[in-house]
Structures are given as structure tokens and as C-alpha cells.
Homo-oligomer: A and B are copies of this chain.
Amino acid sequence: MTAHKSIRLQRSQAVRPGRRPVMLAIAGDSAAGKTTLTRGIADALGPDRATAICVDDYHRYDRAERAGLDITVLNPACNYIEVMEQHLQLLALGRPVLKPVYDHATGQLSRPVLVEPREFVLVEGLLPLHSKLARACFDITVYLDPPEEIRRSWKLRRDTAERGYTPEQVLAELNRREPESAAYIRPQRQWADICVQFAPIAGRPAGESSVLSAELLLRPTARHPDLSGVLTDDDRRTVHLKLIRDADGRPVDALHIHGYAPREDARIVEKAIWAQLSRRHGAAMPETLGELADGRSEPLAIAQLLLVWHLLEALE
């Protein structure tokens, strides 16, 4: 049966039209800023061109069932990872999926939704880079890596405001999750083409201001725009580019954008990125990037523009 069934299936598939979407992964721990980063990119590309999904809905257990378990949602065993992989493969081939839905407000699994891939599929979540099969689906991979104290304050604020938890519950959950964060979430950093770290401005105590600098580590696993023509490694400049060694010893380009970088400094980098777009796709440089609830962030805008550049470059 094997051969003929396989061929029949493949032939039936081959007659379908279907250009394959460009797939971006944004991995990171809970409240690392994945949705904020993704939203600006999705808005810049527009809903006709980009489908954004979160892959944290593949929970095997709802909140009530998890209460009796000694594993958290960070653990692959707590999720239908194989189904997540399958859905990523299908989206990567341009096919729709019926995605499960986890309702953060009620803690229940509810009615699934149809997701139809567009030209670009932006996938954010806790574990999109966990397995080899999942990673094989992406054209560009990002890991969001804020300092832990920043991430904890973000999670505290969000989960009490939007998900109905008390501060004590959030702090207890953060501690309970720590071993699984170390075991399953943070190892994904090694698979990212770009690591994004938003952090308090160096030399100022955390919490003094919500203004954050960004450090973008550009790994040679992807071809990045060449910014050496407009930037130096002079770290007295608000935007600079340094060749450094990552913690694991691998060489990497570190693009630093100071939280108070003036608009005109950021503009130079943005123009340099956009000028290196090999085909213009008729698109003007997006102007709406970097938006936060409390204003515009130049570091965020540059991170998003860099990812838009990668997405457009990956188009066939």
C-alpha cells in the first residue's frame, strides 16, 4: 500500500496552487516582549500579506488539569509539540491549519480557529525553536532575551492586569517555572539568527525609566544588511556596531541602539537597512514601527525594520 498511496497523496497535493510563505519565528519566555515585537511587523506588512500566530495554544491540559501536575506549560510534555510541528510544516507549505485555542482568561481550551497562511507567517511563542523539525520550517529565527528582572516585572504587570492572577500567584509561578525555563526555553537562544535584548540603559538603575536600549546580536547564520558603512564600533555613539564573542564563544555582530538615541541617528541606520533591500517590492520604508503604549521606541523600530527587511529578502 505504501508506495501507491504515497504517490496518490503527493499527486493530489501537487495540483494545488500554493506559493510557500516566508516564515519568521520569535521565541522567548513568557512576557519577553514577543507580541509587542511581532505586532509592529505585522502592522507594517498589513493583514493582507502577513498572518501572525502564537504557538502557545497547543496545551495538552487546561488550567484545571495542570493544577494536579508537577510540570508547567514551558515543558514540551505539557504540549502537543508534534501537532505544533505538523501545523508549522503545513503553514510552511502554504496550507491552512485548524489551530487549537487556549483562553488565557478562563484557562480553558476552546473552539479552534482556521489559520490561513499569507505571504508572511509570523510565529511567536514559548517553544517554536524547540525541535529540529519545527526549526526546519523557518526562514528567519529570533530569540527575545530581556534581563530576567525586566521580564519578571513585565509578566507581573501583564498577568495581574489581563489574566486575572494576583501578584503572589505570578511570583510563585515564575519561581515554579524557573527550572523548565532553563531546561527548555533558554536553550532556544542558540538557534536564533538574531537575538534581541531590550535592557535598561547601562549605568542607570533598572526601574528608573521605562526607556530601554536594544542590543541586537546578528549571527552569521543569516545574511544581514551591511551596516559597517554607516556605523563604527565607537560605543560613545548612541548607535554602534561591534564585533564581539557571544557567551558561547561564537563571533557575532552586536548592533547597539541606545534608549535615548535621537531620531536622526536611528534614521541613518534605518535608511542603510532599507537601501540594501535588493528588490523594492514597490514598498516605501514603513513609518509606523517602534510603537509602544507609551510612545515610540527607536530601538524597537530598528529591530522591527531589520526583521521586515529579512522577511522581504526571503521572498522568492
CB pair A2–B316 under 8 Å, yes or no, is yes
Contacts of A132 in B (CB 8 A): 12
CB pair A86–B90 under 8 Å, yes or no, is yes
- Say how far A296's CB is from chain B's closest CB, in angstroms: 33
Total interface residues in chain A, CB < 8 Å: 39
A114 and B80 in contact, given A12-B133, A86-B95, A98-B100 (Cβ under 8 angstroms): yes
Contacts of A109 in B (CB 8 A): 111-112
Contacts of A93 in B (CB 8 A): 6, 9
- Say how far A127's CB is from chain B's closest CB, in angstroms: 16
CB pair B136–A9 under 8 Å, yes or no, is yes
The reply on A216 being an interface residue by CB < 8 A is no
Contacts of A110 in B (CB 8 A): 110-111
- Say how far A80's CB is from chain B's closest CB, in angstroms: 6
* Oligomer: number of copies: 2
A137 and B316 in contact, given A86-B90, A109-B112 (Cβ under 8 angstroms): no
- Chain A residues 1-15 with CB under 8 Å of chain B are 1-2, 5-6, 8-9, 12-13
Q: Which of B6, B100, B137 contacts A112 (CB 8 A)?
A: B100
A110–B60 Cα gap in the complex (Å)?
A: 14
Chain A 7-32, CB within 8 Å of chain B: the 1/0 string? 01100110000001010000000000
Contacts of A96 in B (CB 8 A): 82-83, 86
Contacts of A83 in B (CB 8 A): 96-98, 114
- Chain A residues 48-82 with CB under 8 Å of chain B are 58, 60, 62, 80, 82
The reply on A89 being an interface residue by CB < 8 A is yes
Contacts of A100 in B (CB 8 A): 98, 111-112
- Say how far A126's CB is from chain B's closest CB, in angstroms: 18
The reply on A108 being an interface residue by CB < 8 A is yes
Q: Which of B92, B97, B111 contacts A9 (CB 8 A)?
A: B92
Chain A 111-122, CB within 8 Å of chain B: the 1/0 string? 110100000000
The reply on A159 being an interface residue by CB < 8 A is no
CB pair B9–A316 under 8 Å, yes or no, is no
CB pair A22–B8 under 8 Å, yes or no, is no
A137–B8 Cα gap in the complex (Å)?
A: 8
The reply on A139 being an interface residue by CB < 8 A is yes
A1–B138 Cα gap in the complex (Å)?
A: 10
The reply on A314 being an interface residue by CB < 8 A is yes
Question: Quick one: closest B residue to A109, CB to CB?
Answer: B111
Contacts of A108 in B (CB 8 A): 111
Sort A-B residue pairs by CB-CB distance and give the 4 closest, nearest first. A109-B111, A8-B136, A12-B133, A83-B98
Q: List 27 A-B contacts (CB under 8 A).
A: A1-B314, A1-B316, A2-B20, A5-B20, A5-B139, A6-B20, A6-B93, A9-B136, A9-B137, A12-B132, A12-B136, A13-B133, A58-B98, A60-B114, A80-B98, A80-B114, A82-B95, A83-B97, A83-B98, A83-B114, A86-B97, A98-B100, A98-B112, A100-B112, A109-B111, A110-B110, A110-B111
